[in-house]
Every structure is written in C-alpha cells, then in structure tokens.
Amino acid sequence: MSENRLPDYLDHMQQAATDACAFVGGMAKAEFLEDKRTQQAVIMSLIIIGEAATKVMDGYADFIQAHAQVPWRGMRGMRNRIAHGYFDINLDVVWETVQTALPDLLRQLPAVRNAANESS
C-alpha cells in the first residue's frame, strides 16, 4: 500500500490559496493588471492548487466523491489552461478566481482536511 499523501496535497492547496489571496490583498484590479510580479505569483499559486487537485483526483476517487462540493475539476482545468496555454492567460479570469473562488475554497478546506485526517 502506498503512503497516504492526501493531507499533504490538501495542505499544498491551502497554502497556495492563502498565498494567492495575500499577494493581491489590498490591490485593485487595475493595479493587479499592471503588476507582472503579482500576476506571476498568483498564476504559480493557481498551478500548485491545480496540480494538488489533480493528485487528489488521480489517487483518491472515493474522497473526491465524498467531497463533491469542492471544485476539483475546475481547479485541474485552470491549471491545465495555464500550463498549456500560457501565452493566452486571461488575467480577468485569474483576478476573478483569486477574488471569489479561492476565498470559497479556503472556507471549504478546513472541513475537507479534517475528513482527510480522520480517514488516514
């Protein structure tokens, strides 16, 4: 039996989401659109989230089904769009993601993480 990495993947997701939100904290959208460093930092955080979500989806199908409220496919899809279409990243979508989807994810993750701990 392989090692249970589920808690690690969820921790990576939480840290990257927290980081991305902190990177844009106090920023207006116009500032974000002019700040390449912050864009790159947020984009990297989204890649980390998507990569961790992919690992969870690939290795823990029952857990995914039990926590269907988490947008696993959307996180993986965002990562794939960024990684494979890097020159076509829509910064408006990145901004909206960090403003709405990531705070929602951060509200969901503590309970999901507790469930992962209970199952390990």
Question: For the chain, which residues make up each domain, given as ranges?
Answer: 6-109
Q: State the number of CA atoms in the 13 A half-sphere of 54 facing the CB.
A: 11
Task: Tell me if the pTM is above 0.85.
Answer: yes
Q: Active site residue: 67, 76, 79, 81, which one?
A: 79
Q: How confident is the model at residue 4 (pLDDT cuts 50, 70, 90)?
A: confident
pLDDT confidence of residue 91: 94
**Alpha-carbon gap, residue 71 to 29, rounded angstroms:** 24
Annotated catalytic residue 84:
yes
Query: What mean pLDDT is predicted for residues 45-62?
Result: 96
Residue 117 vs residue 9, higher pLDDT:
9
Q: Scan for tokens 């921790």, then name that residue.
A: 11
Annotated catalytic residue 79:
yes
Q: Could you tell me which residues come within 8 angstroms of residue 40 by beta carbon, excluding any fewer than 6 positions away?
A: none
pLDDT confidence of residue 34: 97
Q: Could you tell me which residues come within 8 angstroms of residue 64 by beta carbon, excluding any fewer than 6 positions away?
A: 56, 57, 70, 72
Q: Could you tell me which residues come within 8 angstroms of residue 71 by beta carbon, excluding any fewer than 6 positions away?
A: 101, 105
Q: How confident is the model at residue 67 (pLDDT cuts 50, 70, 90)?
A: very high
Residue 83 vs residue 74, higher pLDDT:
74
Residue 83 vs residue 108, higher pLDDT:
108
Q: Active site residue: 73, 84, 107, 113, which one?
A: 84
- As a whole number, the mean pLDDT across the chain is 93
Q: Which of 45-49, 66-70, 116-120 has the lowest mean pLDDT?
A: 116-120
